Structure 1
Amino acid sequence: MTLTATKFTPEVMLSAPRRSAGIPNPSGKLALYTVSTYSFGDHKKTTQIKILNIESGDSVLLVDEPGWSEPVWLSNEEVLYLKSRDNGCTSLVIRHVNSSTAELSYEAGFINAPISNVKVKKLSDGGIAFACSALTTPGGQLFNPETEKKPHSTAKVYTTLFVRHWDAWNSENCSSIFYGVFDHSDGKYSLRDNALTNALAGTKLSSPVPPFGGTGDFDISESGLVFVAKDPGLDPALYTKTDLYFIPLKTFAESKPPSPQIVKTAGLEGYSNSPVFSHCGKKVAFTRMRSKQYESDKPRLILAPDIYNPDKTQEFYATSDNVGGWDIRPEAILWSHDDTKLYVTAESYARTLIFQLPSTPSKATSLPTPINTPDGSVSSFHLLGSAENDHLFVTSTSLIDNSCYSITHPLSNTCKVISSASKQGKSFGLSRASLDSITFRGAGGDYDVHALVVRPSSFNKADPRKKKYPLCMLIHGGPQGAWQDSWSTRWNPAVFAEQGYVVVCPNPTGSTGYGMALEDGITGDWGGRPYNDLVRCYEWVVDNMPEVDGARAVALGASYGGYMINWIQGHPLGRKFKALVCHDGVFSTLNQWCTEELFFPIHDFEGTLYDNRAAYEKWDPARFVAEWATPQLIIHSELDYRLPITEGLAAFNVLQARKVPSKLLVFPDENHWVLKPENSLVWHREVLAWINKYSGIDDKQRLAERLA
């Protein structure tokens, strides 16, 4: 950001440059990152690859041309990236960071299909192992949709479950991991034989796991390849089970890889995630859940102390009752330089933090505490250089800052900000002074509920009674999720606050980051404790925050948050709000079997629709449509296969038939999320216009404009 916004608006947020996570080079002196910017004037996006000098904080442009993706360091001064070519093909391009001329940018390989999720690893013989993912045909060959013969009919025929997923109809093609090796000769690298080998050919395994699987689903080392994949013996619509597999590779040039070996974890059968090799290449740390039908179960941190003996693994903080002694959800994993420590990210009270612990479970005798990182939440972290004392290059965001690079020193527990894209919020006109949090007793009376609060930048903290602002309550999705002190371009509390609201983002029963008791409390109780927590939240805010006008309150939610908006409509809390907004929400829980991942309703409603119909009926918002009376905006997208568009249409039809003021906004080309900038701008304009109309903010703004 080079300009300072006079007011933080949706246009400012959506057109602000977006930086990727920073990745340091082997020496730890430079960091590689990308920047994308959307112009509403030109109606187009531009993307760049940049290099950050970690010591000075200055950046230089490396690549400014269309069609590139996924840059990674190949050496201290060479970057490998993918370049899209005609007919769906991909070039492997290498560029020297100290060069400003095209002559030192060259093609090191050419693949006749799209590839993604690149990883590289320097080998002891001087070569560089290369791994990526790509779609394959049933025969295990690279699949190129551009050159595929188009059928005359668009019909789809299925005889098994899982016909579509997230925003796409499933096909016979699946994702697989490919590998190869780069040789170095005459100052240049080249992909040996210009060929990649399908590591999973003939195995019935697929990795990365859709729809969100990426480089975190596999890792490479001198020892070979580890990856996670769904159990091919279980129906993926009904079960979450993913196993970790190991393929030993000596050179990454093997044309026929050994068969994958499963890494066993007794008593744990759920999702496996985040496998990471140690620097010695013989150990692997990863996470695994216990339940094979609960997507939000607690991940356990697991060690395979000798990957060549995959039958033996060890769990950190294991307990005899198999509950686990660390009541937190480990996510990303990083080994220390000497392999004696692990750095692990996890949610904790509306932040994602980094925890440090011994890399041997028997030495992890006390629960770890977080190390010092900047305000907000960590999104990525890497080791710097090869120093004796670990330094971490950390990428984070916060509610006011869309990108921050910093260096953390675990030994001294100090942290230094290197670069902030928004000058720590100043470019947006935002500051930490607008942020706060509250804690109130939950519905059961025996637990606390935490909520984030964002006030307008114009708020007078010294005299909170001077002016009243309408309440804007945001209800998160999941339901096993949470509002965090992190940046979002889809649900950004500051956008609403700068309209003139006090924004409250509660994390009620079902939320993550507060222990598994609160998270698991929503199971079989969708409209129970979570709803009553929200009632308590509204009451606490009105009683204890004099700057809030509860009589002009609005509430908004998406996904499960959309479910809760529809549930609120039919219950007393719905009459406390002047307007409601439901994005891709649930109209009827009896329709939950229209979704794709059926293990979700099976777990949350404690059984199938035919075995436990009463549970689905108990928490069905459609049971209470006779009470719907609050003006409501309905938003739904046609590519949302998680919650089909009929859910939005049904809710809108009820509101219209009951003569309740209502509006329907539909996006034919979006999924569960609205991601396209132009669509997102329309989304924000419609949402803000709706709530401002009913909260009275529009009237006050028009009056102020007339007086001015």
Structure 2
Amino acid sequence: MMIARAVKFTPEVLLSAPRRSAGLPNAEGTIVLHTISTYSFQNHSKTTTLRALNVKSGESIELAKDQDISDLNWLDDDRFVALRREKNGHTSVIEGSVKSGTASQVAGEINAAAGNLRVTKLNVEGEYAVVLSAAADRNGNLWTPELAERKTRSTGRLYNGLFVRHWDRFEGPEHNALWYGKLTKGSNGELSLSSLTNALKGTGLESPVQPFGGTDNFDIRNDAIIFVAKDPKLNPALNTKCNVYILRIKSWTHPTDSASLRQIAIPGFEGASSSPVFAPHGPKAAFLSMKRPGYEADKNRIFVIPDVNATEINATETHGSSSGEGSWDRSPSSVSFTADAQKLLLTAENEGTGCLYITDGDITKSGDHLPIALTSNGAVSDARPLTDGRIFISGSSLIDNSWYAIVDPKAEIASSKPGCAPVGMWSHSNSGEGKKFGLSSSQISSIRTPSSNPKINKEVHSLVLKPSFYEEGKKYPVAYLIHGGPQGSWADNWSTRWNPAVYAEQGYIVVTPNPTGSTGYGQAFTDAINSNWGGDPYEDIVRVFEWVGKNMKDADNENAVALGASYGGYMINWLNGHDLGRRFKTMVNHDGIFSFAGGLLATEELYFPFHDLKGTPWDASTKSAVAKKTNEVFSSSSTSNWRKWDPSEYLSHWSTPTLIIHSEKDYRLNLSEGLAAFNVLQARGIESQFLTFPDENHWVLKPENSLVWHKVVLNWINKFTGLPAYTDEDPNGDSFWGGVVEGKEENSAMPIQGKPET
């Protein structure tokens, strides 16, 4: 199933390599279901297969091909159900069997686009409760393809409040909803799906939360659904507050009454809640929640509900502290229970890795017993407890696009201290641990450089990736990659959008700094970027640059480039106006902020700039009104923050050749931000290019568009560093853009307009 060893790891190899989903093991951990999708640049099409991997033998069998199958759920150790998207816009619930080698029996069809399927056994043999997500109209009815395609003669839209658009779509009459029903095994042995009921009808709630919520926003047991939803009393554009709810289900085939809905109160926590989950048995549940409203990078705290059946449902913070800051200085992104329901499994960033942790101590009581790390390398994306206490995990690394492993927490805890390597019982790599890409872990290293704010963190950590053909004694140009967020990080994980190995295999030493504001190094380090966007983070990057120049003799720091997206794109604009920017041969800005007033006030989630810049750019009386809406007290210095850290205040210093990339469906940051930066560069006579995609959002996701993105970026930076051009295709020719297609254009990026490049 895997590609042959690549002669050179290129964007084509990156984008056409089989992409494997997180693995879904059966309860015994003997069979793992997963999908693999592959894009062919020769056929300009994607194929998807559903496969079953035998853990003992390593044999993989194909269960379905060329079908859009997702949301796999085991019914027992052989049979499973999943969703299949149909060409008419409907969704089928299908049943399959590993033993029979099939996945095609249709249990029912939903007359809409649906996803995020969860299934659990009921007390009656052959009956299963089902919950999935699908859009509903204003009346709570299913949003069908027919409703979606219905158009009026005028294209106008009228809005009365904030959130006109979000991520890459304008808000319409439809909204997310959870739907429940029942699967029943008939006398013929086949499953049939009942009609579905909108669990949220009449509540004013929406779940999963837009735009990225999925099965991590809800869970199911045989008599209830636990879920998170934005607080309906607060404007979602001004607040992050999400509440946790439990809905009792008396019958999985009939509507439930409003009295069955309970909100879980956690006083003092006014931020976002996420990852609600029931214990596999017993009365417990767990979830994550943030304290501060309007701050999406606040630390996630871990809460456990000891008894969801109690008259008064209470939640306890498992790692609370008298200071109110919590005893564990990491921010988990997911929580689940072990098979015995006595401990919790947590995934959290930790200094450039994505670790799996297990709790130690009584999870129903607050204490200073810190979680124990079960992994130390790579990035865990999913963890599934097995019935015997072992844990099946899915993950990736900088050189491996997908690995599976089974670990024994008892053996790990007995043999090591927190943070040591896992005691692995079994593992399976999609890429031969990078060998099939021509990559190896020997290319990866780390550096630690002095921090600009030693009171918070003494050092700044950067991951470094060298070419696979690296030779001692030779010098290589340096590519500095600046992450987005700004509360984000570079980690030992795989990406098809920003993959450091792509640049390393062009001949660069790649340095990925995690400056002030980065996640995984303690909450204080993350928080320190607030109202400090161009301050400490910039100084940290300066110090990384200078350290590399003094200490890495193989790094040609006089021949360096810088690239960044989102906040990283902001930093490229900031660099262009400050001294460090003039030390780069060239820079690349993908979807970055040009002007705070123009860019941040036009974004959809206004709570983000209002929090990070400590207020609004207007007068105190208006500030007070907004503060009241968000429960946040804004600083009186907020207006100066909007000017102080604005890249457009420093345009007179811009002089470095820069490639600007900005797509038309990026509603997080308007297209005008990219156009303004490009126009300034052109008007000042600075060598520059502008790349745009009419059909992409904040990310470039379509394979053909992504390949063009890489062609343009690599050709641009290689030209300034003296490396060979990535491709010699003419940007004014059709082949550069993937060729001409008949009928509807899937990729609408156009060749360079104006004076051809020489």
Instruction: Establish whether TM, by shorter chain, passes 0.5.
Output: yes
Pair 53,151 (structure 1): closer, same or farther in 2 beyond 3 Å: same
Name the SS of the counterpart of 2:333 in structure 1. Answer: strand
* 2:606 alignment counterpart: 598
Quick one: which amino acid aligns to residue 598 of structure 1? L
Name the SS of the counterpart of 1:226 in structure 2. Answer: strand
* 2:319 alignment counterpart: 317
Name the SS of the counterpart of 1:88 in structure 2. Answer: coil
Pair 227,217 (structure 1): closer, same or farther in 2 beyond 3 Å: same
* 1:180 alignment counterpart: 181
Q: In 2, distance between residues paired with 1:272 and 1:701? A: 46
Give the conservation status (yes or no) of the 8 Å contact 1:247–1:257. no
Q: In 2, distance between residues paired with 1:56 and 1:100? A: 17
Name the SS of the counterpart of 2:544 in structure 1. Answer: helix
Pair 675,658 (structure 1): closer, same or farther in 2 beyond 3 Å: same
Q: In 2, distance between residues paired with 1:301 and 1:218? A: 16
Give the conservation status (yes or no) of the 8 Å contact 1:342–1:359. no
Matched, 1:367 2:361: no
Q: In 2, distance between residues paired with 1:651 and 1:228? A: 39
Matched, 1:452 2:463: yes
| Superposed CA offset, 1:673-708 (max 9, x none) | 000000000000100011101111138999xxxxxx
* 2:391 alignment counterpart: 392
Name the SS of the counterpart of 2:322 in structure 1. Answer: coil
Give the conservation status (yes or no) of the 8 Å contact 1:51–1:62. yes
| Superposed CA offset, 1:466-520 (max 9, x none) | 1100110000000000001000010000000010000000000000000011101
Cα deviation for residue 87 of structure 1 reads 3.7
Q: In 1, distance between residues paired with 2:407 and 2:250? A: 35
Moved more, 262-271 or 79-88: 79-88
Q: In 1, distance between residues paired with 2:188 and 2:268? A: 51
Residues 696-707 of structure 1 aligned to structure 2 (within 5 Å): 696-698=722-724
Give the conservation status (yes or no) of the 8 Å contact 2:24–2:72. no
RMSD value over aligned CA atoms? Answer: 1.7
Moved more, 210-219 or 325-334: 325-334
Q: In 1, distance between residues paired with 2:409 and 2:495? A: 28
Percent of pairs identical after alignment?
47
Quick one: which amino acid aligns to residue 380 of structure 1? D
Cα deviation for residue 99 of structure 1 reads 1.9
* 2:402 alignment counterpart: 403
Cα deviation for residue 248 of structure 1 reads 1.2
Give the conservation status (yes or no) of the 8 Å contact 2:320–2:367. no
Matched, 1:197 2:175: no
Residues 121-520 of structure 1 aligned to structure 2 (within 5 Å): 121-126=120-125, 127-148=127-148, 149-192=150-193, 194-259=194-259, 260-309=261-310, 311-357=313-359, 358=361, 360-362=363-365, 364-372=367-375, 375-384=377-386, 386-387=387-388, 390-413=389-412, 414-446=423-455, 447-460=458-471, 463=472, 466-520=473-527
Matched, 1:558 2:554: no
Quick one: which amino acid aligns to residue 393 of structure 1? F
Pair 595,402 (structure 1): closer, same or farther in 2 beyond 3 Å: same
Pair 89,431 (structure 1): closer, same or farther in 2 beyond 3 Å: same
Moved more, 654-663 or 606-615: 606-615
* 1:619 alignment counterpart: 645
Quick one: which amino acid aligns to residue 376 of structure 1? G
| Superposed CA offset, 1:263-286 (max 9, x none) | 011111111000110122521110
Cα deviation for residue 364 of structure 1 reads 4.7
Q: In 1, distance between residues paired with 2:695 and 2:594? A: 21
| Superposed CA offset, 1:28-66 (max 9, x none) | 211110000000000000001000111122210001133
Taking structure 1 as the reference length, the TM-score comes to 0.95
Cα deviation for residue 307 of structure 1 reads 1.4
Pair 616,515 (structure 1): closer, same or farther in 2 beyond 3 Å: same
Cα deviation for residue 258 of structure 1 reads 4.2
Give the conservation status (yes or no) of the 8 Å contact 1:32–1:72. no
Cα deviation for residue 418 of structure 1 reads 2.6
Give the conservation status (yes or no) of the 8 Å contact 2:714–2:725. no
| Superposed CA offset, 1:63-106 (max 9, x none) | 113343333222221221223335422221112222246xx842
Pair 474,86 (structure 1): closer, same or farther in 2 beyond 3 Å: closer
Q: In 1, distance between residues paired with 2:63 and 2:553? A: 52
Q: In 1, distance between residues paired with 2:21 and 2:70? A: 12
Q: In 2, distance between residues paired with 1:685 and 1:376? A: 28
Cα deviation for residue 613 of structure 1 reads 2.3
Give the conservation status (yes or no) of the 8 Å contact 2:715–2:726. no
Q: In 2, distance between residues paired with 1:100 and 1:602? A: 54
Pair 189,450 (structure 1): closer, same or farther in 2 beyond 3 Å: same
Give the conservation status (yes or no) of the 8 Å contact 1:219–1:226. yes
| Superposed CA offset, 1:129-169 (max 9, x none) | 11000100111000013355322221111011110000000
Name the SS of the counterpart of 1:479 in structure 2. Answer: coil
Matched, 1:629 2:658: no
Quick one: which amino acid aligns to residue 482 of structure 1? S
Moved more, 473-482 or 150-159: 150-159
Name the SS of the counterpart of 1:659 in structure 2. Answer: coil
Quick one: which amino acid aligns to residue 534 of structure 1? I
Pair 701,638 (structure 1): closer, same or farther in 2 beyond 3 Å: closer
Cα deviation for residue 361 of structure 1 reads 4.1
Name the SS of the counterpart of 1:684 in structure 2. Answer: helix
* 1:542 alignment counterpart: 549
Pair 699,50 (structure 1): closer, same or farther in 2 beyond 3 Å: closer
Give the conservation status (yes or no) of the 8 Å contact 1:372–1:410. no
* 2:36 alignment counterpart: 35
Cα deviation for residue 345 of structure 1 reads 0.9
Gaps of 5+ in 2: 413-422, 620-637, 729-758
Give the conservation status (yes or no) of the 8 Å contact 2:90–2:145. no
* 1:705 alignment counterpart: none
Q: In 2, distance between residues paired with 1:292 and 1:82? A: 36
Quick one: which amino acid aligns to residue 326 of structure 1? W
Give the conservation status (yes or no) of the 8 Å contact 1:223–1:282. no
Cα deviation for residue 333 of structure 1 reads 1.5
Q: In 2, distance between residues paired with 1:645 and 1:700? A: 27
Quick one: which amino acid aligns to residue 230 of structure 1? K
Name the SS of the counterpart of 1:401 in structure 2. Answer: coil
Q: In 2, distance between residues paired with 1:605 and 1:208? A: 29
Name the SS of the counterpart of 1:152 in structure 2. Answer: coil
Quick one: which amino acid aligns to residue 666 of structure 1? T
Moved more, 692-701 or 564-573: 692-701
Q: In 2, distance between residues paired with 1:213 and 1:695? A: 41
Q: In 1, distance between residues paired with 2:606 and 2:494? A: 30
Taking structure 2 as the reference length, the TM-score comes to 0.89
Residues 49-88 of structure 1 aligned to structure 2 (within 5 Å): 49-85=50-86, 87-88=88-89
Cα deviation for residue 185 of structure 1 reads 2.3
Give the conservation status (yes or no) of the 8 Å contact 2:321–2:367. no
Cα deviation for residue 251 of structure 1 reads 4.1
Pair 123,281 (structure 1): closer, same or farther in 2 beyond 3 Å: farther
Give the conservation status (yes or no) of the 8 Å contact 1:88–1:147. no
Residues 560-579 of structure 1 aligned to structure 2 (within 5 Å): 560-579=567-586
* 1:641 alignment counterpart: 667
Give the conservation status (yes or no) of the 8 Å contact 2:186–2:192. no
Q: In 1, distance between residues paired with 2:496 and 2:453? A: 34
Q: In 2, distance between residues paired with 1:67 and 1:337? A: 31
Q: In 2, distance between residues paired with 1:700 and 1:238? A: 44
Q: In 1, distance between residues paired with 2:140 and 2:257? A: 13
